[in-house]
Amino acid sequence: MVITGAPSESVTARKLTTAKAMVEAISQEMDRDPSIFVMGEDIGAYGGIFSSTSGLLEKFGPQRIMDTPISETAFMGLATGAAVEGMRPIVELMFVDFFGVCMDQIYNHMAKIHYESGGNVKVPVVLMTAVGGGYSDGAQHSQCLWGVFAHLPGMKVVVPSNPYDAKGLMISAIRDDNPVIYMFHKGVMGLPWMAKNPRSLGPVPEKPYEVPIGRAAVVRTGRDLTIVTLSLSVHHALDAADELASQGIDCEVIDLRSLVPLDREAVLESVAKTGRLLVVDEDYQSFGLTGEIAAVVAEKDPRLLKAPVSRLAMPDIPIPYSRTLEYAVLPTAERIAAAARLVMA
């Protein structure tokens, strides 16, 4: 098992927010490779609604940092076309919820061309997009939807949970010759105007580095129970694990970091050790990530398990606006801890 979390304080003292780490990655890669450009809505003067492009316009100018009209189909397709001809576009879909207006360009074109061309045509696009809820943005602005992108073949899907991984995964995504969907949760960006987990500010080395796509990280080791999760839920799982430790339950927490490719080995190795599995997902439950992870174990060897697999995901309900309702369905630390106790019971 590879333990590949963020480096310790002594390795790098400098701390960045996840948003700043992403911007630094893009900026360093743009310095290196003139074929990279960034486009999307409000990514220029505004710097991205969730600060994913702050300062890039000032540094690289309007030839390489371009605000688009609200025409997602047109600019998604533009990214594909430009990539096919040798450029390396980074395109932002402001909220993943908006994929509905441009999905054909993504899943039928961007994602399939490499295969359909027998490997003759490469489409190196990074599609970055904001995901997640928790601040009452309602049913059309709070979804995660990574299960949809991971379900459809031809796209890599990465989902960083912290500043270190955000930088390294962005650099890997840019250098990758495939379409990579880069999904950042608003709650891990370290935005000044939104409640955030303290871990959205963390150590980030200044030099460019890659975090390999397709490798999970064991972000906490433990003996009793494996919690497999990703994105903001990693932080909730770590908080829950702290609480559970004081009650004598020793959790191992796995941050998947990538859904495609999926690090099945990391899951199996951990479950082989703990014998118990709780999968936590802020995406909808049915036909999604939690079922996929359960299948990883079931297909390999269900006898690894001392207790049935447990799933804690967004129920199959449009995400409600009112805070009392939204927090009744989000996978909070309290609900993760409660689910973990049930697995142990």
- Report, as residue numbers or ranges, the catalytic residues: 141
Contact 151, 189 (CB under 8 A): no
Q: How far is CA 49 from CA 29, 36, 45, 166, 168, in A?
A: 22, 21, 10, 17, 22
Query: For residues 97-126, which are near ligand TPP according to CB under 6 A?
Result: 98, 101
Closest CA to 107 of 72, 150, 68: 150
Which positions lie near other proteins, rule CB under 8 A? Answer: 41-42, 44-46, 49, 67-74, 97-98, 100-101, 134-141, 192-195, 315-318, 320-325, 327-329
In the bound state with other proteins, the residue whose beta carbon lies nearer, of 98 and 209, is 98
Q: How far is the CB of 119 from ligand TPP (least distance, A)?
A: 33
Examine residue 41 and tell whether it contacts ligand TPP (CB under 6 A). yes
Q: What are phi and psi of 67, to 5 degrees?
A: -70, 140
Q: How far is the CB of 97 from ligand TPP (least distance, A)?
A: 8
In sequence order, which residues have a C-beta less than 8 Å from that of residue 304 and are 6 or more positions away? 268, 271, 272, 275, 297
In the bound state with ligand TPP, the residue whose beta carbon lies nearer, of 41 and 239, is 41
Q: Alpha-carbon distance 113 to 278, whole Å? A: 37
Examine residue 29 and tell whether it contacts ligand TPP (CB under 6 A). no
* Contact code string over 146-185 relative to ligand TPP, x by CB under 6 A: ----------------------------------------
Q: Alpha-carbon distance 120 to 113, whole Å? A: 9
The residues facing 88 across adjacent strands are: 36
The residues facing 251 across adjacent strands are: 225
Q: Which amino acid is at 51?
A: S
In the bound state with ligand TPP, the residue whose beta carbon lies nearer, of 73 and 108, is 73
Contact 204, 14 (CB under 8 A): yes
* Contact code string over 72-101 relative to ligand TPP, x by CB under 6 A: x---------------------x---x--x
Identify the residue among 2, 70, 74, 194 touching ligand TPP (CB under 6 A): 70
Give the total of residues touching ligand TPP (CB under 6 A).
Answer: 6
The residues facing 181 across adjacent strands are: 127, 157
In the bound state with other proteins, the residue whose beta carbon lies nearer, of 2 and 74, is 74
324 binds, among ligand TPP, other proteins, none (CB under 5 to 8 A by kind): other proteins
Q: How far is CA 74 from CA 35, 106, 125, 265, in A?
A: 20, 11, 15, 39
* Chain positions contacting ligand TPP, by CB under 6 A: 41, 70, 72, 94, 98, 101
